[in-house]
Chains A and B, each alone.
Chain A
C-alpha cells in the first residue's frame, strides 16, 4: 500500500528543518526559513513541477536511497485562478503530523493572496454560472472521477494526519461519493426550489434560484470530506469560491487543488489558500466583492467576528459547526448560497 509522498517528505524535511534552524514567526524570518529550505531542495532536485507525482512508497524510497537517487519532493503551493502560485508573501507554515513531526511546508497566505483569489473568483463567476446545469454536473462528476483515481494518494495524506488506514479509505470514498451526489443536483435543485406563482393578475410570474456569486469558505478541520462538503454545494449552484484552509491538516486540500485542476473545472471557480485563520478570515469576510460566507467552525467567537466583518456588504452567512461531516449533504446546502429571483411578464397581446 502506498504511503505516499508523506513519509518521504517527513524524512527529508525533518532533516532540512532541523538543520535549517529556527521557527519562523515574523515574515522576514519566514522568508529566510523558506529560502533555506528551497535552496536545500534545489541542491538535490528542482521542485517546480506543477503536478508532483503520486509519491514513492516507503520501501521504494529506501530502495532508491540505496541506489543513491534522491526522490522528487513536492512543493505544496496554493491553487488560485487555475494555477499553483506560492503565497505572494513568501512565507510558510509547517504541516505537522500528530506527533509533531513536520510533514511539509505550506504557504502561509496573506491578505493580499486573499484579495487576489477573490479577483480570480469574481472573474470566473459569470462564466461558471452561465455553464449549463448539465455541464456543471459533468464537471463535478469529473472531479469525483479524478479523486477516485487518486484515492491512494489521499489515503496516505489522511493517514499521515490522524486517520487510521480504514478511516482514511472511508473518508476518501465518502468525499468522492459526495461529489457524485452534488453532480446530480446541478440540474435538479432548480426544479425542487423554483416555482411558478399563481398571482392574481394577468402575469406569468416565476421564481428561480440564481447563484449568490463569490462565496468565501472557511474550510473545516475535516481535511477532505469537510472541505468537499462545504465547497461542492457552492460550485454546484454556479458560485465561485475562495476556500481558506486553516486547519491542522492542509495537505489534502492542496492536493485536492490538483484534482480540481485536472477535472475541467475552470480556473478561478475554486481557489484554495492555506495559512492562518486570524490573518485571512477577516479580509475575506470584509471583502466587498464576496457575496456569501460559509463558516465551518464550532467556535462562536470566530463566527461572530466574521459575521460582523460581513455586514459591510451584507454577505449571506451560513455557519456550519459540524465536526462529523458524514451526513452533511442536501440540496439545502446549495439553496443556502442562492438568491431567489422573481420575474413578472404580462400575459396579453
Chain B
C-alpha cells in the first residue's frame, strides 16, 4: 500500500491541493496486478461465452488513458434471438419449476461471490468506466452485492408481496443499462428479476461492458442454470433489438429520457410490462437555517459524485438569498480542494469522463451556459494530458430559462440559482419536466419534512444526498421514468399480481 495523505508545506489561506503552491498528496494508486483482463470478450448466452454470430466486435477503452482494454463481441439480432430463446427455455424448463428457496440460494451465491471478488470488480469498474476507485470500491461493488443479497431473500416470499393477492413471475426480462454504474445497474436489474422467478437478457453499455461480463463469469461459476441470465454486449442497436423482441415479457431500461420515450412508444399496445429509469435535473435546496458546512459537503457530493454522471445528481443548486454569498464562497473553496485525475488513485475525487462523446456533450453545455449569460466558475486543478477530463464547474447567476438549468448535462457542472421564500424555492425545484430526486438542507425538521413532501420527485434526501440502499425504492416522477427499483416496489416490477378471486 502506498496510501498516504501527508501534507507538504504550510497551509495557504485558500486551500489548494495538487497545485504547486499548496498541499499536495502523494500518489496512491490502486494496484491492478490482482486483476485479470482478457483481450477479447464474448457474449454470454445459454451459459457459454461465444463470439457474435457475424464475428463483429467493438473496442472498450480506458477513458483515463484512451487505451484499448479489450475487444468485445457486438451482438446482432441473431445473437439477441439466441439469447432470448435461451432465456425462454430456461424459464419454461428450469427456473419456473425450481423451488423458490433454491432459486433464492442461487441469488445468494451471486451476492457472496461478488463480495469475494470485490477488489477485482472495483478496479475493473474504474479502468473501464473512469470512476474513482474510492467510489467503485466503497459504493458500486458493495451496493451491487447488497442488492443481490436483499432480493435473494425475497425469492421464497413473493406470496407476501401483494397483500390479498398471489403473484407470479412475468417470464423473460429484456434489460438495458447505462455506463454510469455498470455493475450496480446490472445488479438492480438482474437481482429482483431472478428472485421473482424471471429469466434475463441484459445489454450493458458499450463503453463499460467488462464488469457485466465478469458478473456473467460469477453467475456461471455460481452454478446458475444456463440461460437464466444472458448478457449481450453492443451499442444502441443491440439494445433496441432486446427491448423490441417479441418474446420478451418485460422491459427494464435505465438511460436517457429521450431513448426511454422511444422504448415506451415501441411498447405501446404490446401489453408488455416495463420500468423506465430515466434522466433528471434535481434541485438541491439550501435554506438559510441549514448547517452550511454540511450543506456544502452535500452539494459537492450531489453534483461531483461519479463525475456528475448520475441521473439523480443534484445538478441545480437553489440557495436562499440570505445565505447565498456564504454558501457559494465556501463551495468554491471546497471545490478547489477536489482532485481530478487517475481513477485508480485513492486520493482522486473526480475521475475520467466516461467517453469522448460524453466529454464533447459536457463541453458543449459549458459553451451554451456562457453564451446564455450564466457566469462560469471552474477550479484551477491540473488535469492529466491524456484521457477525458472535466474540472468541476459552477454556473452562477443561472436563470430558469437557461439550458444549463433545464437540461440534463450528466457531468460535473452545477447551475446555481437563488430564491427568497420557501414557496419560491419549491416552485423553482418543481419547474422541470424531470422528477427523479431532490435535496433539502435545513436544520428545521418541520420545514425539511414540508419541503420534501412538496417536491415532485421519487427520491428526496434531507440533509444528505446520493444515498442508495437495496431496501429503498428508487425511481422518478414525471419524465424521469415509470416504476421503481429497490425495495418491495422493485420486486413488484417483476411480478404480476394474480386477479382477485
Contact = CB atoms under 8 A, between A and B. Distances in A.
A344 B472 contact: yes
A16 interface: no
Contacts of A343: 452, 459-462
Given A207-B489, A311-B265, A314-B264, A340 B475 contact: yes
Given A314-B276, A314-B278, A340-B473, 4 more contacts: A198-B471, A203-B464, A342-B460, A342-B473
Nearest to B471: A197
Contact of B464 (A200, A212, A311, A344): A344
B206 interface: no
A304 B271 CA distance: 9
Interface in B432-486: 433, 448, 452-453, 456-464, 467, 469, 471-475, 477-479, 481-482, 484, 486
B479 A201 contact: no
B290 to A, nearest CB: 13
A26 interface: no
Contacts of A213: 456
Interface residues of B, number: 46
B9 interface: no
B13 interface: no
B163 A192 contact: yes
A341 interface: yes
Contacts of A207: 472-473, 487, 489
B487 A195 contact: yes
11 contacts: A197-B469, A207-B472, A207-B487, A311-B261, A340-B458, A341-B453, A341-B460, A341-B477, A343-B459, A344-B460, A344-B464
A142 B144 CA distance: 50
Nearest to B458: A341
Contacts of A341: 453, 457-460, 477
Interface in B292-312: none
Interface in A178-207: 192, 195, 197-201, 203, 205, 207
A68 interface: no
A291 interface: yes
Interface string B250-265: 0000000100110011
Contact of A330 (B164, B458, B479, B487): B164
Interface in B237-284: 257, 260-261, 264-265, 268-269, 276, 278
Nearest to B261: A311
A313 B477 CA distance: 11
A195 B478 contact: no
A230 to B, nearest CB: 16
B467 A291 contact: no
A304 B460 contact: no
Nearest to A206: B472
Contacts of A330: 164, 500
Given A307-B268, A307-B269, A327-B500, A344 B473 contact: no
A31 interface: no
Given A311-B265, A332-B497, A203 B478 contact: no
A77 B491 CA distance: 46
A342 to B, nearest CB: 5
Q: Which 9 A-B pairs have the closest CB atoms?
A: A304-B269, A307-B268, A199-B469, A197-B471, A343-B460, A197-B472, A308-B268, A344-B461, A311-B265
Contact of B472 (A199, A300, A304, A332): A199
B173 interface: no
Interface string A28-54: 000000000000000000000000000
Contacts of B268: 304, 307-308, 311
B190 to A, nearest CB: 20
Nearest to A319: B271
A205 B481 contact: no
Nearest to B467: A344
Given A200-B146, A201-B469, A203-B467, A303 B478 contact: no
Interface string A333-349: 00000011111111000
Interface in A262-320: 291, 300-301, 303-304, 307-308, 311, 313-314, 316
B164 to A, nearest CB: 7
Contacts of A308: 265, 268-269
B488 interface: yes
Contact of A342 (B448, B458, B478): B458
A313 B479 contact: yes
Contact of A346 (B452, B460, B463): B463
A344 B448 CA distance: 11
A205 B469 CA distance: 10
A207 B488 CA distance: 10
Contacts of A304: 268-269
Contacts of B464: 203, 344-346
Nearest to A332: B497
A345 B472 contact: no
Interface in B150-167: 162-165
A344 to B, nearest CB: 5
Contact of B261 (A192, A300, A314): A314
Contact of B260 (A314, A331, A344): A314
Interface in B358-414: none
Nearest to B465: A344
Interface string B31-55: 0000000000000000000000000
